[in-house]
Amino acid sequence: MCNITLRENGSAPEIKNTAYAVVFGSVMVVGLPLNAMSLWILLRRHSLKSPSAVFMVNLAMSDLLLVISLPMRVYFYATCTWPLGSMACIWITMLFRNNIRSSSIFITFISMDRLLAVVYPLRSRHLRTSSNAWRAVVLIWVFVVVMNIPESVYFSRFLENNTVTTCFEFQHDPKCPIAHFQPVLVFTLLAVNIVCTALVSWTLRRHLNESAKINNKVNVMLIFAMNLLMFTVFFLPVSLAVVLKNRRHYLTPLLCLASVNCCLDPLLYYFSFDGFWKRQEDVDSSLARE
């Protein structure tokens, strides 16, 4: 737990808190320009008529929401104080937690869209429309925000019984049903991504000798490889840690690790297009020919 007593009585907690501040600060410095530039490119060069572009724009927005929550985390771990009160603490914590949930859902929808584009390019055209993508996006954000309500209530009760120096040290009781929501969500979405990866890999190998460009196939598989990396390295460990006992000493390092995902998402945008600066309609036509 981050508090003044620990900083005064021992150097190890102080070093840990400094390391947390450095990690969150580095993610903020790298993630902000990368995601701002990615969002600008997506909006400027890729029509929002494409479902993939719609999902990626919202993924970039999710990452930017994470980034804007990081300055106060840096201040908290650098000073072990929280000057803004419990309500601000709750809002900033929810922004951080929402990134894992919204990012994992958007990444899964990107995988499913690529699956339809590669495996069922003609039959899926009536499904892969911008209107359907926007409907899905609205439902995703509503779902994520609604899940904040019970968590915020539980968090406010936690802060009532603790000092403000525990702001970002909030941990669910493993017996609380709310604590199991995120692990179940991440496991389910990971399973969907694994199935999508297997089906796309099998389809591309089956058509390996056809005239489609091999670079396109490599890029497609890189998308799925990065999606699985996001889940197994950034989303899954911290989601499991929430429901485990004796998690106090490794939950914050895992949160630091999870925050790094917003710096790698721009690579997903790059590999999702056959050339980041091309229009998405050209990419979909290329995939359809495969």
Closest to 97 (Cα-Cα) out of 57, 50, 144, 60: 144
Question: Burial letters for 226-240: b for 16+ Cβ neighbours within 10 Å, e otherwise?
Answer: bbbebbeebbbbbbe
Residues 216, 274 contacting (CB under 8 angstroms): yes
CATH number of 4-289: 1.20.1070.10
pLDDT confidence bin for 35, thresholds 50/70/90 = very high
Query: Does pLDDT of 223 surpass 80?
Result: yes
Average pLDDT over residues 243-250: 68
Residues 200, 118 contacting (CB under 8 angstroms): yes
Count of beta carbons in the 10 Å neighbourhood of residue 141: 16
Query: Does pLDDT of 34 surpass 70?
Result: yes
Higher local confidence (pLDDT), 127 or 218: 127
pLDDT confidence bin for 214, thresholds 50/70/90 = very low
Give the pTM: 0.84
Q: Which pLDDT score is estimated for 11? A: 60
User: Quick one: 176 exposed, middle or buried, by C-beta within 10 A (0-12, 13-18, 19+)?
Assistant: middle
Between the alpha carbon of residue 216 and those of residues 194, 205, 212, 266, the distances in Å are: 20, 13, 8, 18
Q: Which pLDDT score is estimated for 134? A: 94
Name which of 9-13, 150-154, 190-194 the model is least confident about.
9-13
52-96: pLDDT as tens digits: 889 999 999 999 999 999 999 999 888 888 888 788 888 888 888
Query: Does pLDDT of 254 surpass 50?
Result: yes
Question: Burial letters for 25-61: b for 16+ Cβ neighbours within 10 Å, e otherwise?
Answer: bbbbebbbebbeebbebbeeebeeebbbbbbbbbbbb
Count of beta carbons in the 10 Å neighbourhood of residue 288: 14
82-141: pLDDT as tens digits: 888 788 888 888 888 899 999 999 999 999 998 888 888 888 888 888 899 999 999 999
Query: Which position has the token pair 């495969």?
Result: 290
Query: Does pLDDT of 5 surpass 50?
Result: no
- 3-state secondary structure at position 12: helix
What mean pLDDT, rounded, does the chain reach?
Answer: 80
